[in-house]
Amino acid sequence: MSRETQEVDSKVVTSEADTRGRYLYCVAENSQEMDLGNIGIDGNNVYTIPYQDISGVVHNCPAQPYESKDNKVVEDWVMTHETVVETALERLGTVLPLGFDTIIKADEEEDPEEMVKAWLKEDYQRLREKLDKVKGKVEYGVQISWDTKIVSEKLIEKGQELKDLDQEIKSKPKGTAYMYKQKLEKLMRGKIEKEAERCFKDFYEMIKGVTDEIKVEKLKKEEEPGRQMLMNLSCLTDKDAKILGDELEKINNMDGFFVRFTGPWPPYSFV
Amino acid sequence: MPIDINEDNLKHGLLGLVIALVEIIRDALKHQALRRMEGGSLNDEEVERLGSALEEIDIAIDHMKEEQGISETVKSVRNGLDDLVDDVLDQMVNPERWAKEEVKK
């Protein structure tokens, strides 16, 4: 028993060594002072600093940013940052996630806790509006890709023009056949582009029907050879994930299409 | 990230860059050839000759890439250029996103 108190004491001493900064994970719609435990970056104690009906979720830290040349270390920090935001989402309700390395600093004579409150107060209107916007909602990531080979084959099946050209190539002399092959590829690219546009519109409408807000993100290169990403979306919704999941399942079941569905996340893309 | 330069990977990288550029020029030639063929300004014999020449260039490039083991380097140079062009186009097509990224910086 006495050993336990000692440990707690020593923790208080070390954490008071340099705590002019408050590392902010997110702003939560919650007015309670709460201790979330030692779940923070480097095992720091995470707790809330309330102002009116909102709180900053923080840990005490030195008044300088987290920096490391080691990518692995930074990766771990960012991962922890995300886990804390997710925990806050579970335990405190609606949250506005903040970016990694958001730190509020206090000068010698200032109380860092008051500085956080002052920030919450100053930006209260803006934070409040954003909280209302994402209230009770979570974010899902949706990435849809297709297999270019399967799509090409399907297009040749459908298009008489392509089929004819494909046949014609076989009857031509070598050099001419080469040129015709280029022509076929060019036609193909055009058709694929049109098809991609059509699919994008269709899928967008499907997903729009079951979400509150969609953000179109930049396409990424697919790791898997032969695959190409068609659309990369962040979706904000307050509905059951199953509704969106069912809709995506329909797309995933189409021949040559693949859907990656991730979440629920805190609404990172909508704050 | 430090760049590790030794004679071997310098040669490798330089060769990859050169072949990537040759490929891009070849693609431009192909594009032009196709346009002329489709425009009807070439007779059958000319189409045949042009096609053969371009095919030989393809074969020569593939052969060189395989022999020197630079297929991956060439691919990454071209992907890098593609990404660059992608970014520029994206900024022109979506000025909003561009403005946002400027603010972030």
pLDDT in tens, A2-38: 444 444 443 344 444 578 899 999 999 988 898 999 9
Give the position of tokens 């979440």.
A263
CB contact under 8 A, B48 and A218: no
| CA nearest neighbour of A175 among B53, B26, B28 | B53
Q: What average pLDDT score do residues B1-19 get?
A: 76
A215 to chain B, closest Cα gap in Å: 11
Q: What average pLDDT score do residues A184-201 get?
A: 90
Q: pLDDT per residue over A211-263, tens digit each? A: 888 999 888 888 888 899 999 999 998 877 788 888 899 999 988 999 999 87
Residue of chain B whose alpha carbon sits nearest to that of A217: B97
CB contacts < 8 A (A, B): 39
* Tokens at B30, concatenated: 């192909």
Q: pLDDT per residue over B45-62, tens digit each? A: 999 999 999 999 999 999
Burial (CB count <10 Å: 0-12, 13-18, 19+), residue A104: buried
**Alpha-carbon dihedral sign for residues A173, A176, A181, A187:** negative
pLDDT at residue A132, rounded to an integer: 87
pLDDT band at B105 (very low <50, low <70, confident <90, very high): low
Q: Which of B36, B43, B48, B71 to mutate to test the interface with A (most CBs of A within 10 A)?
A: B48
Give bridge partners of residue A104 from the DSSP assignment.
Answer: A22
Taking each helix axis from N to C end, the angle separating A174-208 and B44-68, rounded to the nearest 10 degrees, works out to 70
Q: Does the structure show a pLDDT above 90 at A58?
A: yes
Q: Does the structure show a pLDDT above 60 at B90?
A: yes
Average pLDDT, chain B: 85
Q: Please check whether residue A227 is in contact with residue A187, taking contact to mean a CB–CB distance below 8 angstroms.
A: no
Q: Please check whether residue A124 is in contact with residue A54, taking contact to mean a CB–CB distance below 8 angstroms.
A: yes
**ipTM for the complex shown:** 0.75
Q: Of A39-48, A81-90, B8-17, B69-78, which range is least confident?
A: B8-17
Element (H, E) at B71: helix B71-93
**Count of positions (residues) in chain B:** 105
Q: pLDDT per residue over A148-171, tens digit each? A: 889 888 888 887 878 888 888 888
Give the separation between CA B40 and CA B62, rounded to whole angstroms: 30
Q: Which residues of A touch B53 (CB under 8 A)?
A: 175
CB contact under 8 A, B48 and A183: no
Q: Which of A176, A221, A232 to mutate to test the interface with B (most CBs of B within 10 A)?
A: A176
Q: What average pLDDT score do residues A96-121 get?
A: 88
Picking from B38, B51, B79, the nearest residue to A178 by CB comes out as B51
| CA nearest neighbour of A237 among A138, A122, A169 | A138
CB contact under 8 A, A179 and B33: yes
pLDDT at residue B4, rounded to an integer: 62
| CA nearest neighbour of B94 among A56, A64, A215, A97 | A215
Q: pLDDT per residue over A62-98, tens digit each? A: 888 898 888 899 999 999 999 999 899 888 888 899 9
Alpha carbon separation from A181 to A167, A199, B5, B53 (Å, rounded): 11, 26, 41, 14
Q: What average pLDDT score do residues A120-145 get?
A: 90
* Tokens at A73, concatenated: 């270390």
pLDDT band at B63 (very low <50, low <70, confident <90, very high): very high
pLDDT at residue B97, rounded to an integer: 66
CB contact under 8 A, B33 and A174: no
DSSP result, A30-97? --S--EEES-SGGG--EEEEEETTEEEEEEEE-SS----S-HHHHHHHHHHHHHHHHHHHHHHSSEEE
Q: What average pLDDT score do residues B72-84 get?
A: 89
Alpha carbon separation from B72 to A19, B5, B16 (Å, rounded): 49, 18, 8
Q: Which residues, at least 6 apart from A179, have a Cβ–Cβ distance to it below 8 Å? A: B33, B34, B37, B47, B50, B51, B54
Picking from B34, B38, B49, the nearest residue to A175 by CB comes out as B49
| CA nearest neighbour of A68 among A101, A102, A103, A21 | A101
In Å, how far from its chain's centre is CA B92?
22
